[in-house]
Amino acid sequence: MRTLTVDLNERSYPIYIGRGIRQQKALFDEAIHGKQVMIVTNDTIAPLYLDAMVDMLSADYKVDTCILPDGEEFKTLDTYGTIMTSLLEAKHNRTTTVIALGGGVVGDMAGFAAATYQRGVPFIQVPTTLLSQVDSSVGGKTGVNHPLGKNMIGAFYQPQAVIIDTDSLLSLPQRELSAGMAEVIKYGLICDVPFFDWLEQEMPALMSLDNDKISEAIYRSCLAKANVVAQDEREGGVRAILNLGHTFGHAIETQMGYGNWLHGEAVAAGSVLAMDLSWRMGNITDEDFRRTVDLFKAAKLPILPPVNMTLANFVERMALDKKVLDGSLRLVLLGALGEAIVTSDFPMEDFNACLTDALEASKQANLAIS
């Protein structure tokens, strides 16, 4: 087992990474401070892992469960209300601990419920997808989607611990594994060129779920994110670099309908767009751009936007992004490979050309994900 710490002073917490650690009760005991536990999961994960977790914890805690429908389309205020109703009906008090057992949607919603139930109760992240293990479970972003925009309702609220069991990846569909790899690649692009180089060499092993390689990728991804979050917990500055590809990607997710494109798929296509714009601005080389596209391809991820989106769709959706400041769209781009920047200072003709060319290429390739 490997351990690292997200250093946020009194809100600091450990991240544990290892095989089979979901059943190491001592890790949970360290993070549970009362006698009540609410496990929030979904109807895909529950049949796989819920009973074992309930059995493990029931000897020492009153354990209740809340099973949600699976899918990004259910990341809504209504589903959040389901969690709150479960907590209230089971008479959970301020010393309860919420455990998020699932992927990013479960983690975001359970975390938001924990942040707001009786004005805040502890919670633990037990992420079961690669994407949630390397990204959404770390850093304290919680929330739900709105039909007009992704993650527009939420709170910054840190967990007590993140417990990453790599064995859970064995039950992950190939498409979900690829989606998670988009966030792994992101860290190499924004802040760690040696990691990017390593990913180029090891992608076949990673996609085959070689345990040593995948554990290393998760550790280095979490370390990169922990370092950024420690500098900027509430995204007032440098933390925004973690959103490479996300402004384009959120536009894709919202336009296509939540769940039709997985988050990681949209981030991959969005990252290629961000790299394309960075290249047009002269910030990265032809070779940097080519290597990036090849790496996303090797991870079996889309490199073009949806065939049925338009430039107007992107402009409309991106105008609602959280990074818009005083009416100006800010994008995460690269100043160089491994050096991300957040800027509104980009030529609009390059922005429009980047999207127009990608959309035309998508039509020619007839790209569609359903």
**Which CATH number fits the domain that encloses residue 161?**
3.40.50.1970
Annotated active-site residue 239? The verdict is yes
Kindly name the residue from 145, 151, 183, 186 that is annotated as catalytic: 183
Point out the domain boundary residue: 113, 145, 169.
169
Annotated active-site residue 183? The verdict is yes
| 183 and 126 within one domain | no
3-state DSSP assignment of residue 352: helix
Kindly name the residue from 225, 280, 317, 323 that is annotated as catalytic: 225
Q: Rounded to whole angstroms, how far apart are CA atoms 280 and 274?
A: 10
pLDDT in tens, 26-68: 999 999 999 999 999 999 999 999 999 999 999 999 999 999 9
Number of separate domains in the chain: 2
Secondary structure letter of residue 342 according to DSSP? E
Q: Rounded to whole angstroms, how far apart are CA atoms 184 and 222?
A: 9
Annotated active-site residue 146? The verdict is no
Instruction: Quote the pLDDT of residue 325.
Output: 67
Annotated active-site residue 263? The verdict is yes
| 254 and 195 within one domain | yes
| 178 and 164 within one domain | no
pTM over 0.75: yes
Q: CB–CB of 43/70 below 8 Å? A: yes
| 146 and 20 within one domain | yes
| 220 and 121 within one domain | no
Residue ranges in the chain whose pLDDT is less than 50? 370
Point out the domain boundary residue: 141, 169, 197.
169
| 198 and 127 within one domain | no
Q: What CATH number should be reported for the domain holding residue 210? A: 1.20.1090.10
Q: How far is CA 203 from the centre of its chain?
A: 20
Annotated active-site residue 250? The verdict is yes
Range of the domain at 41: 2-169
Q: Between the CA of residue 6 and those of 9, 92, 363, what are the distances in Å? A: 9, 28, 43
| 185 and 127 within one domain | no
Kindly name the residue from 243, 291, 323, 330 that is annotated as catalytic: 243
| 187 and 87 within one domain | no
Token pair 């790496």 in the structure block, residue? 295
Instruction: Quote the pLDDT of residue 328.
Output: 84
Instruction: Quote the pLDDT of residue 103.
Output: 97
Annotated active-site residue 213? The verdict is no
Q: Rounded to whole angstroms, how far apart are CA atoms 70 and 68?
A: 6
Q: CB–CB of 271/186 below 8 Å? A: yes
The binding site for NAD(+) comprises 70-75, 104-108, 128-129, 141, 150
3-state DSSP assignment of residue 272: helix
